[in-house]
Amino acid sequence: MENLARLLKDHPFLAGMEQVHLEFLAGCAANARYAADEFLFKEGQESDASYLIRTGRVALEVSIPGRGLAQLQTVETGEVLGWSWLYPPYRWQFDARALEPVRAFRLDGNCLRAKCETDHDLGYELVKRFLYQVHVRLERTRIQLLDVYRADT
């Protein structure tokens, strides 16, 4: 676990986090590997983890009747994927599919929730980091919505 805490420290999402919190998080973390085309999770399933991507690229996808598969965004090396475990009803809203071989730290959502409830300093630190990710992702989505490359813009 000490080794895992050392590895977690190097992920950009956890950069600068206190050692005591890293060791706490290591208790909720596991190494995970996914082959290209393998799903990390699917829409509607219970959301029970966050994925800190160490290498590789994952696409967030949704299937639209009559239109087929739509790829919404990609998440890759150094980024974090998934925070639906933070809020009820704890369900994934999209599919996440590995576009290439992916290595990640899988942080168990139930474990994280329990630890955040007992250690509010850790909870605040984590929520702050997730909120920044939400901020970045929201900004990205807004720019995508502008559809700036459309012919009449």
Binding site for another protein (CB under 8 A): 57, 59, 67-74, 76, 99-100, 139-140, 143-144, 146-153
CB of 18 to another protein, least distance (A): 25
The distance of closest approach from Cβ of residue 38 to another protein in the complex, given in angstroms and rounded to an integer, is 13
Q: How far is the CB of 59 from another protein (least distance, A)?
A: 7
Closest to another protein by CB, 1 or 145: 145
Return the number of the residue (28 or 53) whose C-beta is nearest another protein. 53
As measured in angstroms, the least distance from the Cβ of 116 to another protein is 27
Closest CB to another protein among residues 26, 80: 80
CA angle 25, 91, 86 (to 5 degrees): 35
CB of 137 to another protein, least distance (A): 9
Q: How many CB atoms lie within 10 A of CB 102?
A: 26
Residue number, 86 or 99, with CB nearest to another protein: 99
Is 60 in contact with 83 (CB distance < 8 Å)?
Answer: no
Kindly tell me which of 30 and 69 has the beta carbon lying closer to another protein. 69
